[in-house]
Structure 1
Amino acid sequence: MDSGEKNKYGLLGRDISYSFSENYFKEKFIRERRSDCSYQNFDLKNISELSDIMTQKDLKGLNVTIPYKEEVLGFLDDVDPIAKEIGAVNTIKFTAQGTVGYNTDLIGFKNSFSPLLDKNHKKALILGTGGASKAIAYALKELQIKATYVSRNPTKDQLSYAALDQAVMEEHQIIINCSPVGTFPNTHEKPNLPYEHIHAQYIVYDLVYNPETSALLAMAKSKGAQIKNGYDMLVGQAEGSWQIWNEA
């Protein structure tokens, strides 16, 4: 129903002209006849620019993407306990009491990933250590799957790509790419994995959604693995955000 009042929503990130969210919400508002709502990208070179955006009139909610999911916490009045535990926020709600941060990546990932699981899927490798990876690790813990981070610059309890030998790969039959490697326009790129060890028992999940089949997923598919891109997760987190923004 059109209230006649503009409710502004948007996406915070850097270099986000390619973003899923703006098109998704604009189409949603047309489909649901919500002419009272608008959605725009806020492409920030630096998180310090956020203060000016937060004071905009009629702003009701924001999504947050790379690279600000962790940095944004310091700008919020309150953070939902789960988002606080994850250590990353992808949804901001504007209330009379101030701004509140949430994480809907968790539910978006969990709902799209869980149907793929089988009894052999006990351990996972998470490629990348940014804000999105934290929600993935939290979801895996809830699903009782032990996760290990893989990084180009590993810290304690993380693995380097060079450490991914046959034994490590065989032990971890879930691979989740949380890095931007392979995203348009660099579609030929893929994580530096020993692909010869991937087989039909694997799940390979790539948060990249553009292209639909990344170089990582194409290679994994050729080895017989179950593959899934990040599109359903994105839809899930977007709808999760919309629900939060519209709760009383």
Structure 2
Amino acid sequence: MGQQTSGTDSPSGKSTGGEGKGALRWAMGLAAVGLLVMYQSVETTPAAPRSTDGGPAAVASASPTPLVQPSRAASAAPAMSRSKPVKLRIPQLFVEAPFTELGLTPEGGLAAPPPEDRNLVGWYKDGPTPGQRGPAVVAGHVDTTKGPAVFLMLYVMRPGNPVEITREDGSVAVFTVDSVQTFPKNAFPDQLVYGDTPDAQLRLITCAGEYNRATHDYSDNVVVFAHLSSTRPA
């Protein structure tokens, strides 16, 4: 971490986007390729190894880390209409960060947020918007060559913590954290993270674990699971 080159964990793969069941379609596309965007190459390093012909290999089915299904202490708020995110606020981490849209590279991976701005998060633009039904995916760097970045302390978040996202339509989607989990990259539970949901949910994703200088890769991913708990005007 610190001054080392790092990436952000974020979705990649083929996607159709859209609302409702469309969230499942793009989620299943993500499962084929995995996570980890390395900002230096602006390509995705998959959670599972690629096959020799350049296509995605199968994601490992077994994980040494028990999977915990996120649970909610409070009822979810009704889903909102589609509107792009503008600003992310996490009071516990003193984070206030603008958004950039993330698309796919020609290779099918997700382009990373620009490394010049350490206080910037990226939203996968072909998935649900924050507040819309389904799992909205937000990725951020844990660090860059310039130093610590926006999601450096993401792992300290706890259930019940709020996450606020101001949207382009002038509304604020307030999410409540359900769980914070760490997964090995070689056994990432794609369906748990990206699978379709009956309500509006949020995934905050970044790198964690040991850093390999040879591969410029972290060993794990931290994922914050949250659900939409309320809305208000900006």
Higher helix share: 1
Structure with greater contact order relative to length (CA < 8 Å, sep ≥ 6): 2
TM beyond 0.5: no
Bigger Rg over Cα: 1
Give me the TM-score of the superposition, normalised by structure 1.
0.26
